Amino acid sequence: MSLRHKEAFLFTSTALILSLPRAMADGPFVCVTESATWQDNVTYAPSGNGVRGALGLESGFQVDWLRSLDFSTTLTGGFAGDIEVCTEYSGLDNLCLGPTVEVRHKFGLGPLAPVVYAGLLGSAYGFEDPERSKIEGDFLFGYSQRLSDEFQVALDGRLGSFDARDIVFCGNYASLDAAMNWDVTETWRVRLLGGWRNGDLVSDYTAEESPYGWEAIDPNTEYLPGAWHYVRTFNEPFVAYRVSTVTWSYGAAVSPAIGPHTSASLQYVHYLSPGIDRYVDNVVSLSLTHRF
């Protein structure tokens, strides 16, 4: 999907969402999330001198309108936005905003009936480091089912494409995430997480200047794969380069309900991209979500 096509998608989706509130009976429903996240490899570099950790602070919201298409099918449309601040590297500070549209269908009656959904998500990202600014479009699909009063399984898939000001930060991906939710009590929920992603990502690595220009300081890599260039994001010489790889993830979360409309979550996820250059990232996040 080209940048022009993504801009058209964002414009069309926004126009559709603006027309939804009059026709829909329910809404707006508002959800606000505040979170703090630690990544021990925010540069997503191979092991060595390029690995840098960072703490990020994030504030996000989602506003949705809901309409029933029939007894078991609902259409949801809305907007999502997010502000993220990296306490160590200001070039990663960013603002994100975009429309969402989703159709959800429930097969049967009762809490144990399975649910499937499909939708579109458009996002425009503006980074303090302008070369990283991008427009992204995603096709979403998923499945969830409660197996009993205590256990629920959920699958979430995405096909995405993103275009940035610089080709290094452009790419495509496909992902599939799975979760097993265990409602231990009415207050406490435990989640087991697993995921797979195949596609493009950006790795950043410490660099030095040579007669041929900037190059990564990596004794295990004689050349940089794909597109790359020098960046100032990390307060010292670095190069950013695009890689295409498969990433596996697993983790767990504990989510207590603080009130009827408020919940907290403490989550850990381990990411691994095996290969000649092995990428590893550990992410710990603490979040608070309130629904109005």
b/e map of 210-249 (b: 16 or more CB within 10 Å)?
eeeebbbebeebeebeebbeebebbeebbbbbbbebebeb
* pLDDT recorded at residue 212: 62
User: Which CATH architecture group holds 3-164+172-197+250-271+280-291?
Assistant: Beta Barrel (2.40)
Domain map of the chain by residue range? 3-164+172-197+250-271+280-291
Q: What is the pTM of this model?
A: 0.86
Q: What is the mean pLDDT of the chain?
A: 87
The dihedrals phi and psi of 223, each to the nearest 5 degrees, come to -150, 160
The dihedrals phi and psi of 89, each to the nearest 5 degrees, come to -130, 100
Give the amino acid at 287.
Answer: S
Helix residue ranges, H only, the chain: 3-23
How does pLDDT run across 250-284, given as a tens digit for each residue?
999 999 999 889 999 999 999 999 876 788 999 99
d(C-alpha 176, C-alpha 290), whole Å: 26
Sole residue written with tokens 């992603």: 197
Residue 239 has pLDDT above 60, yes or no: yes
* pLDDT recorded at residue 275: 72
d(C-alpha 195, C-alpha 175), whole Å: 7
How does pLDDT run across 67-116, given as a tens digit for each residue?
999 989 999 999 999 999 999 999 999 999 999 999 999 999 888 999 99
The dihedrals phi and psi of 260, each to the nearest 5 degrees, come to -65, -25
Q: Which of 256, 175, 204 is nearest to 48 (CA)?
A: 204
Residue 142 has pLDDT above 70, yes or no: yes
Peptide bond into 219 cis (omega under 30): no
* pLDDT recorded at residue 243: 86
